[in-house]
């Protein structure tokens, strides 16, 4: 570690949050690629069709693989069958949670809300706290001390990454919070972004989750088998590998404390299967810059924006390699950051507010 590097406090209740506010980085104005209003309105239009189609396919696959897993229980075939079931449970659970949380997946609000609540339970995220956490993530993306969803600090904590292969860091943390919510307690960090008016809803949602857990445990005891839990709750642990891989590739290795999503977010070209599981969140710069564009319109938004963005990673493997390389380098040098050239057609990068209130241009950062 470089001698000059001070280890930063990533908590929301520590000094970094206040510092970010003083530096004008909190709730700031971010760079946006200029797109004609008429085109933007077309891209923001809501539709029910794509999300209904994708939800029917997802649930059908989940039931189909669940049935195969059930039939294979007690044989070695159960391993691949449950792995497939777990991945289909967790990864689309995560992306549907995300898209419906933004309220853009479906046109009809109650459809977004129902799928959001359902998917929140699948991925074991208390629905209301995570809605507010994600709101903050979009306001202050990768601003240290402000964003509760920074995947890894610098230097990285490898133990957390290893635990997250099986969702064993965030999973137990969120379950502990659910139990706290049941008794009317809000975690200190959560208080930074959940408004008090939402506490009551938070408490009741967690009570429902905990009742489901109790019913599940009772069923397992009654049937003297872990099998019921292999179909709900446990898949969010044993099937979470893609959630981790997709999640790490969104921002890790890129800049912190900047006001331009092209500097802190990664767009990746992915195959159609991954794009289905991930609901096009591989177009992540596009999503962050214009969060009200639904997932099904992101490829079109990408076409509008790509001349203004650094080249996308050519695939998940290449993006993941970049992430691991950056994490390894940040172990020794926490300031290490991947810098990506913009094409000649792009507007220069904008880092953040300068002392004169303007924006600092960092094109040609080196």
Partner 1 sequence: MSQGWIEVCEVGEIDEEDVIRFDHGAVSLAVYRSDKDKYYATDGFCTHERVHLSDGLVMGSVIECPKHNGRFDYTTGAAKKTPACEALKTYPVQIEAGKVYVQID
Binding flag, residue 192, partner 1 (CB under 8 A): no
Contact set for partner 1, span 196-255 (CB under 8 A): 197-198
Contact set for partner 1, span 26-45 (CB under 8 A): 27, 29, 40-41, 44-45
Least separation in angstroms between residue 292's CB and partner 1 is: 5
Alpha helices in the chain (DSSP H): 15-22, 37-44, 49-72, 78-102, 109-122, 127-139, 158-164, 170-182, 188-191, 199-223, 227-231, 235-238, 241-251, 261-264, 272-278, 284-289, 298-305, 316-332
CA distance 184 to 177: 10
CA distance 302 to 123: 28
Binding flag, residue 132, partner 1 (CB under 8 A): yes
Least separation in angstroms between residue 288's CB and partner 1 is: 11
Binding flag, residue 189, partner 1 (CB under 8 A): no
**Interacting residue with partner 1 among 8, 23, 138, 360 (CB under 8 A):** 138
Name the residue nearer to partner 1 (CB basis): 201 or 329.
201
Q: Which two tokens stand for residue 77?
A: 């075939």
CA distance 304 to 241: 32
Binding-residue total with partner 1 (CB under 8 A)? 22
As a whole number of angstroms, the longest Cα–Cα distance in the chain is: 69
How many residues are given for the chain?
Answer: 366
Contact set for partner 1, span 47-106 (CB under 8 A): 102-104
Name the residue nearer to partner 1 (CB basis): 45 or 325.
45
Contact set for partner 1, span 276-315 (CB under 8 A): 290-292
Name the residue nearer to partner 1 (CB basis): 89 or 193.
193
The single-letter DSSP state of residue 169 is T
Instruction: Give the footprint of partner 1 on this chain (CB under 8 A).
Output: 27, 29, 40-41, 44-46, 102-104, 109, 131-132, 135, 138-139, 195, 197-198, 290-292
């Amino acid at each position: 570690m470089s001698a000059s590097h001070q280890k930063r406090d990533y908590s929301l209740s520590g000094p970094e949050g206040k510092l970010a506010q003083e530096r004008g980085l909190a709730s700031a104005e971010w760079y946006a690629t200029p797109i004609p209003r008429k085109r933007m309105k077309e891209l923001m239009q809501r539709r029910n069709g794509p999300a209904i189609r994708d939800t029917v396919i997802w649930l059908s696959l989940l039931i189909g693989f669940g049935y195969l897993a059930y039939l294979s229980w007690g044989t070695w075939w159960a391993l691949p069958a449950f792995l497939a079931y777990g991945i289909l449970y967790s990864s689309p659970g995560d992306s549907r949670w995300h898209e419906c949380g933004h309220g853009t997946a479906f046109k009809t609000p109650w459809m977004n809300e129902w799928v959001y609540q359902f998917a929140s339970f699948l991925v074991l995220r208390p629905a209301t706290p995570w809605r507010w956490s994600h709101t903050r993530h979009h306001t202050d993306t990768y601003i240290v001390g402000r964003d509760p969803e920074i995947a890894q600090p610098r230097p990285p904590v490898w133990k957390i990454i290893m635990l997250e292969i099986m969702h064993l860091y965030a999973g137990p943390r969120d379950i502990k919070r659910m139990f706290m919510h049941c008794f009317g307690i809000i975690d200190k960090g959560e208080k930074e972004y959940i408004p008090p008016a939402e506490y009551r809803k938070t408490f009741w949602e967690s009570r429902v989750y905990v009742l489901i857990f109790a019913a599940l445990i009772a069923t397992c005891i009654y049937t003297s088998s872990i099998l019921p839990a292999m179909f709900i709750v446990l898949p969010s642990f044993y099937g979470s590998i893609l959630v981790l891989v997709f999640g790490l590739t969104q921002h890790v290795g890129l800049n912190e404390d900047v006001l331009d999503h092209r500097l802190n977010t990664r767009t990746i070209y992915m195959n159609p299967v991954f794009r289905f599981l991930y609901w096009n969140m591989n177009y992540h710069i596009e999503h962050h810059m214009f969060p009200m564009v639904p997932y099904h319109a992101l490829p079109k938004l990408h076409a509008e924006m790509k001349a203004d963005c650094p080249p996308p990673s050519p695939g998940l493997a290449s993006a993941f390699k970049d992430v691991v390389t950056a994490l390894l380098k940040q172990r020794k040098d926490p300031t290490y950051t991947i810098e990506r050239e913009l094409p000649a057609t792009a507007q220069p990068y904008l880092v953040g507010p300068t002392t004169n209130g303007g924006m600092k241009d960092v094109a040609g950062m080196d």
